[in-house]
Amino acid sequence: VYRACCDCGNPECVKCSMPALGRATFSQVRVKKAGIYGLSYTVYEEGGDAFTHYLNDSATDRRFTVTAGRPESIALTTVPSSSAIGVPTPLSPALLTPQPVVSVSDTYENQVSQEGETGLAIVTVCADGTDTHPLPSAVCQCSNGTCLSRETYEEMQQQAVAGGLHGNFTAFFSVGVAMFTDLQLVHARTDLRLVIRQILSGTPTGVNATSPAFQVMPGKLFSMEVLADPATAAGCARCPPGVHLVNTAITASVALKDKFNNVISTCGFGSARCDGTPTATIIAQLVLNSADVSPSYLTGTVQSAASAGVSSFSNVRVTGTSVGYSLLFSAAGGVFTSSRPFTVSNGAPTGISPGVAQLWAADTEVFPVQPEIWLVDAQGNLASSDCYSTQCGNPLCSYNESAGACGAQVNV
């Protein structure tokens, strides 16, 4: 003991005792670390030398064992760092590297290894919100305790599956350590964390831990998704959604995605299968009612290099009017997607084109076939709609063959 403990009136000297009738009794001695121990005693005599007595170290009955207490915390001794979808096989979820290893400890950080006290560990995934990409609906924010809270082992299993984990997401503690071997994840983000919980006799104990953030990289290009769709945008001041004017800029954008619906915004950590995809060139083509249209009908910028897995088009123009156009977007490797159908309406009338004309008639005779002329826009399209005009009374135009040109009058 420390010499400061010679004053046994000091309440901090719990390892100090004054003899009474030749006997010293200790009542507050504690050992915080598990192990096998012996005790030694030092006696200080007034004005004399101290002497120490050790319990006989060779006598096993004079030694004692201190075991760990009840589990109070989980420590993650090995945690994932960076993994990639498509490793080890081209279309597989990301195999977490390295696989997590956890241990369970008591209040004093002694590893608990007693049978019946450890049970098993179950893992689920959360995101801390530092990644700006939209969070999948089934993945909890790490700060959302309500979302992460599950009352039963079965609910925790369901949460792990819904959160995108594959493989065996439970592991039994053996000598206080649980090792996961085949955990895989389908979500590609930079802010992922693992939540480890202890289960004892099928019931959550409330002992859990959260790993540091780690990254999962996306896999190879598998599909594309239209983000900005001409079918939902209004192409002019009086155009309803899905109607655009001829030869005016149409905007659209598509996201490049892997098999598990992750935007391929970056590529690395051995995922060579998605190399180049974040900046791949996407080509737009025009189709009408699912049939190819002459390339001359589509002008402007029809190729776009993706940035962070998103390809944007801001100056696609269609020169012919019709209902049922779609934009078909394609990438190398035979991956493509299509916008929903949209309409292209005529521009302002700029000329007259003869429709039906009588070639001859007698003097003062009424033409057997009355003349007909067509109002056409700059591209030669029949001016059958007034969508181009901002002067008409209706707030929205109606694209149909009888709408006509608002306010137009033709004299013969």
Instruction: Domain ranges for the chain, please list them.
Output: 73-217, 223-345
Is pLDDT above 60 for 64?
yes
Length reported for the chain: 412
Sign of CA dihedral 270, 271, 275, 278: negative
Beta strand 335-338 pairing with 322-331: antiparallel
| More reliable by pLDDT, 393 or 221 | 221
C-alpha to C-alpha distance for 149 and 333, rounded to whole angstroms: 43
CATH of span 73-217: 2.60.40.3960
CATH class name, domain 223-345: mainly beta
First to last CA, the chain: 121
User: What confidence category does residue 302 fall into, taking pLDDT thresholds of 50, 70 and 90?
Assistant: very high
- Residue 43 burial (CB count, 10 A): 12
73-217 matches 223-345 in fold: yes
Q: What value does the mean pLDDT of the chain take? A: 83
| Interval 49-63 mean pLDDT | 55
pLDDT value at residue 1: 38
SS3 helix, strand, coil % of the chain, rounded to 5? Answer: 10, 35, 55
Is pLDDT above 80 for 277?
yes
pLDDT value at residue 412: 47
| Interval 169-198 mean pLDDT | 93
Encode pLDDT of 373-409 as tens digits.
788 888 888 888 888 887 776 788 876 644 555 555 5
Most confident residue range from 150-164, 222-236, 283-297, 361-375: 222-236
Encode pLDDT of 128-182 as tens digits.
999 988 899 889 999 998 888 888 888 889 999 989 999 999 999 888 899 999 9
pLDDT value at residue 78: 94
Is pLDDT above 90 for 110?
no
pLDDT value at residue 90: 80
CA neighbours closer than 13 Å in the CB half-sphere of residue 141: 9
